[in-house]
């Protein structure tokens, strides 16, 4: 079976950057399969990258190498990491992107190749490291073991007098507000509020309301989401990441 490497970046597709990274991987690993998770992470938005990768990685088979580069600190003294957990491998900057990995995950700090372009570690550092892992290199041979990766986990909901209080942690391209409140934490019949605006009780899907109407439901990621049928909840409500959600 061909080796699988996923890619997640904020590079977009208008420039050569994604192509250059893929060129390195294809040259290094014969027969590799490259799966694009997304290259449309908002520029420098490490938190969005963390959310996306955290809900996606376990959908792939064991042995997959996940190459994730959203790296506003590229060329600084921030570390470069490779990690391993649950049969998966990860390569990413040490800026909190991998905060979702369990405490049992193993991390190493990757050396920076002397010839690496200071502004393009994705091509010159992270891609070669991902290629080595895909070829079977052990984590211990990739770099120096560390126990203190930088962690900045996504916020968790809290309880306030019987009300679950969370926040919007991601806004998708449809303008859907994705919260951190698990669907199973919401009592039946409870009315959802976002930034003080009442949305209503949980529906099943978009089709439960008329066009242009706000609707709350448990999304495919397992948490409460707020959307507008055939519209944008973010635009209608004028809110985004960090907005309070109460259930």
Backbone angles phi, psi at 204, to 5 degrees: -85, -40
The 10s digit of each residue's pLDDT in 159-184 is 998 899 999 999 999 999 999 999 99
Same structural domain for residues 102 and 25? yes
Same structural domain for residues 11 and 132? yes
Decide if 153 is inside a domain.
no
Same structural domain for residues 140 and 205? no
Mean predicted confidence (pLDDT) in 134-153: 96
Decide if 151 is inside a domain.
no
The 10s digit of each residue's pLDDT in 185-227 is 999 889 999 999 999 999 999 889 999 999 999 999 999 999 9
Distance CA 244, CA 224 (A): 12
Distance CA 135, CA 83 (A): 15
Decide if 152 is inside a domain.
no
Same structural domain for residues 10 and 131? yes
Contact assessment for residue 157 and residue 165, using Cβ atoms and an 8 Å cutoff: yes
Same structural domain for residues 165 and 86? no
Q: Which token pair is 190?
A: 């409870």
**Radius of gyration, alpha carbons of the chain:** 20
Same structural domain for residues 135 and 166? no
CATH of the domain at 179: 2.40.30.90
Decide if 47 is inside a domain.
yes
User: How many CB atoms are located within 10 Å of the residue 244 CB?
Assistant: 14
- Angle, helices 17-28 vs 127-134, to 10°: value is 30
Same structural domain for residues 121 and 208? no
Decide if 178 is inside a domain.
yes
On average, the pLDDT of the chain sits at 96
Q: Are strands 197-203 and 33-38 parallel, antiparallel or unpaired?
A: unpaired
Same structural domain for residues 140 and 58? yes
Distance CA 10, CA 53 (A): 13
Same structural domain for residues 21 and 107? yes
- Mapping DSSP to helix (H, G, I), strand (E, B) and coil, where does residue 92 land? strand
**Can you give the residue range of the structural domain that contains 217?**
158-246
Residue 1 has pLDDT above 70, yes or no: no
Decide if 71 is inside a domain.
yes
The 10s digit of each residue's pLDDT in 9-68 is 999 999 999 999 999 999 999 999 999 999 999 999 999 999 999 999 999 999 999 999
The separation between CA 199 and the C-alpha centre of its own chain, rounded to angstroms, equals: 27
Same structural domain for residues 65 and 172? no
Backbone angles phi, psi at 245, to 5 degrees: -125, 130
Distance CA 193, CA 190 (A): 10
- Count how many domains the chain has: 2
Contact assessment for residue 145 and residue 106, using Cβ atoms and an 8 Å cutoff: yes
Q: Which token pair is 222?
A: 């397992």
Distance CA 204, CA 218 (A): 7
CATH of the domain at 136: 3.40.50.10790
- Boundary (domain end) residue, out of 112, 146, 180: 146
- Boundary (domain end) residue, out of 146, 176, 208: 146
The 10s digit of each residue's pLDDT in 58-67 is 999 999 999 9
Decide if 107 is inside a domain.
yes
Decide if 57 is inside a domain.
yes
Q: Which token pair is 67?
A: 């190459």
| Helix then strand then coil, % of the chain, to nearest 5 | 20, 30, 45
The 10s digit of each residue's pLDDT in 217-244 is 999 999 999 999 999 999 999 999 999 9
Query: What are the distances in angstroms from CA 112 to CA 22, 128, 151?
Result: 19, 11, 21
Contact assessment for residue 222 and residue 183, using Cβ atoms and an 8 Å cutoff: yes
Same structural domain for residues 33 and 140? yes
- Boundary (domain end) residue, out of 97, 120, 146: 146
Same structural domain for residues 130 and 197? no
């Amino acid at each position: 079976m061909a080796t699988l490497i996923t890619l997640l970046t904020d590079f977009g597709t208008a420039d050569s950057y994604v192509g250059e990274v893929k060129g390195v991987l294809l040259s290094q690993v014969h027969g590799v399969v490259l799966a694009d998770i997304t290259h449309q992470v908002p520029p420098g938005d490490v938190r969005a990258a963390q959310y996306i990768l955290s809900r996606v990685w376990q959908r792939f088979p064991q042995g997959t190498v996940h190459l994730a580069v959203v790296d506003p600190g590229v060329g600084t003294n921030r570390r470069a990491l490779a990690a391993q957990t649950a049969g998966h491998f990860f390569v990413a900057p040490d800026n909190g992107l991998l905060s979702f990995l369990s405490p049992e995950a193993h991390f190493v700090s990757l050396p920076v190749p002397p010839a690496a372009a200071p502004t393009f570690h994705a091509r010159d550092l992270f891609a070669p490291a991902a290629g080595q892992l895909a070829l079977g290199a052990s984590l211990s041979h990739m770099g120096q073991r560390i126990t203190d990766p930088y962690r900045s986990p996504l916020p968790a909901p809290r309880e306030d007098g019987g009300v679950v209080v969370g926040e919007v942690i991601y806004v998708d391209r449809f303008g859907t507000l994705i919260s951190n409140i698990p669907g199973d934490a919401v009592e039946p019949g409870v009315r959802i509020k976002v930034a003080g605006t009442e949305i209503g009780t949980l529906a099943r899907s978009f089709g439960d309301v008329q066009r242009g109407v706000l609707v709350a439901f448990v999304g495919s990621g397992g948490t409460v989401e707020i959307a507008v049928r055939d519209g944008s909840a973010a635009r209608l409500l004028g809110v985004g990441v960090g907005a309070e959600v109460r259930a």
